[in-house]
Amino acid sequence: MNKSEVKYQNTAIKMDKAMLKLLEEKDFLDISVSEICREAGVNRSTFYDHYLNTYDLLKETQKKIMNDFNNHFNDLSIEFPNFKNENEELIFISPKYLIPYLEYMKENKKLFKTYLSHLSTFNVEEAYDDLFQYVLKPIFIRMGINDNSIMNYMSKFYLTGITAIVNEWINNDCQDDLLFIVEIIIACIYPNTPLQNK
């Protein structure tokens, strides 16, 4: 990577950070290009060298969050299961996946507090659609549930429930022990699981 590419990339990182900082304070629709430039320490022409508008920057910011999140799992050498494979155990909600997921969120709680409080802004439905197609739908099919309407309702219940638990934990500044939150999520998905006392 040459000097100008490095400079371009560093400027993009500054603007991603500026966007997230401003989202902590206000709604996306109230954020102007001028505010982003001021926060990032760049001028308007630099902004428009990188992005068409604030929506364009928001898309990139979301992509960066998801890439960082995926890299965290890759760094830990955690392979995501392929539930289309008949030999793959149908257990997705387990400490193996939940602990690194929650650890990453705790380490980046300020970022995820912003992200979770602006789910509609970040178009999380798109990410949910991918999760549904590649994870939940194959699980439902293997469980003998083939009706798309049933799958849709069940997956919404499942995903919004977990998101609500994580959101509550992050809003409480991750004060409850991470393993306790893992237990809560597992107990909600598998109701017969006994809960240990905190």
**Got the DSSP string for 104-152?**
HHHHTHHHHHHHHHTTTTTTHHHHHHHHIIIIIHHHHHHTT---HHHHH
* Average confidence (pLDDT) over 103-130: 76
130 in a structural domain: yes
53 in a structural domain: yes
* Average confidence (pLDDT) over 97-115: 84
Instruction: Verify that 100 and 176 share a domain, yes or no.
Output: yes
Instruction: Verify that 48 and 87 share a domain, yes or no.
Output: no
At residue 189, the pLDDT reads 77
Instruction: Verify that 53 and 115 share a domain, yes or no.
Output: no
Q: What is the pLDDT of residues 2-28, one digit of tens each?
A: 777 778 888 989 999 998 889 888 888
Instruction: Verify that 84 and 166 share a domain, yes or no.
Output: yes
- Residue with token string 């155990």: 89
- pLDDT at residue 94 is higher than 70: yes
Instruction: Verify that 47 and 86 share a domain, yes or no.
Output: no
Distance CA 34, CA 20 (A): 15
139 in a structural domain: yes
At residue 175, the pLDDT reads 94
Q: Containing domain of residue 36, as a range? A: 1-57
Instruction: Verify that 103 and 187 share a domain, yes or no.
Output: yes
At residue 187, the pLDDT reads 86
62 in a structural domain: no
At residue 77, the pLDDT reads 59
CATH of the domain at 35: 1.10.357.10
pTM given for the model: 0.69
Instruction: Verify that 41 and 84 share a domain, yes or no.
Output: no
Share of the chain above pLDDT 90, in %: 24
- pLDDT at residue 63 is higher than 70: yes
Under the banding of pLDDT at 50, 70 and 90, the label for residue 52 is very high
CB within 8 Å of 188: residues ≥ 6 apart: 161, 162, 165
Distance CA 142, CA 136 (A): 10
174 in a structural domain: yes
Instruction: Verify that 45 and 92 share a domain, yes or no.
Output: no
Number of domains in the chain: 2
63 in a structural domain: no
